[in-house]
Structure 1
Amino acid sequence: MSDRMAKGKRVLPVGPTELQIEHRLLDDLGLLRSPQTRAMYDWYRDHRDCEEGPVQWAVFDLLDHAPLAENFFLVNTEDPEAVQIVLHGEKVRRLLGNSTWTKDVIREDDALPEKRSLFQYYRVIIRDRRAHYCEIFGRGGYLRNNHFESIDLPMVDEEGKVVRILGVLGVIGENETPA
């Protein structure tokens, strides 16, 4: 995996919709524009054991974040050869559609190039053990040029292994076009 992946762009076709995604390490809190991503990152920052380290998965309780639950997605990363998206909140489903691969096991050699790209992106988060940020423009299909962002937060077990990536999606604007 090249360092270029740590900051980059990709285009994913999702049915009749195209997602243009720019991703990077979340090293500038000024990037966060939606109240959902900001609130979750504030919680994450306040629960880390060290300044840049991940939060323990055992500390997270969905009930403590009920108002944000519709914006969550959750990725199981316990298998070193695969990741599995195990949860999408209702807002995530509405924004990305039902073809968001919930319960799919995604591997490096997946037949779909967009899944291979997603697998590589999640591997970067696991390697870096730090929060990442995505800015996303959705065009076509049901999205009508929506503009949204997500944060991807690595969560570790008691031994410090990244076992989950907790994601939060927030809408920035509607009917916009990418710069």
Structure 2
Amino acid sequence: MNETHHRVTLTVNGVVREATVPGRRLLSDCLRHDLGLTGTHVGCEHGVCGACTVLLDGEPVRSCLTFAVTVDGQEITTVEGLAQGGALSPVQRAFTECHALQCGFCTPGFLCTVTAFLRDNPAPSEEEALEAVAGNLCRCTGYQNILKAVHRAAEIQAAEIQAAELQAEEGGA
């Protein structure tokens, strides 16, 4: 039996992209195979590990549990889209500074998860940071440096906001 294919239009990392996919194509597979964005990793394919986490309209979702046709017309940010203008995002820089990755397989999911978390909670407590990353599995790091990276990213973001505010004040004076 021939499966019906559907045309989907997605804004991925700020770029409008189109793909023709079967109705049962997972978003993770669409991103990786149809759009060539291999930064989104597929681990368990059951939504447990979090390696496939991307931002859908700014919110973290498991792309291995999401059909591509259900997100037609929506905005997706993958790990490739976190850097802005060639510069690593504060979360990416913090993960690097704090050695919060080893093999790197889980890292894209953590980066997307932490990016959304810090947007909503820019100064998390230790408990809040732990809860935020608890849905992503890492078999290498032991999580200590990942938690350090969450707090370091919050510091970097706060410093960038303060610098931008200072610059705006000086420019308006």
Q: Same fold (TM over 0.5)?
A: no
TM-score (norm 2): 0.24
TM-score (norm 1): 0.24
Q: Which has the higher contact order (CA 8 A, sep 6+)?
A: 1
Q: Computing the radius of gyration over CA atoms, which structure comes out larger, 1 or 2?
A: 2
More strand by share: 1
More helix by share: 2
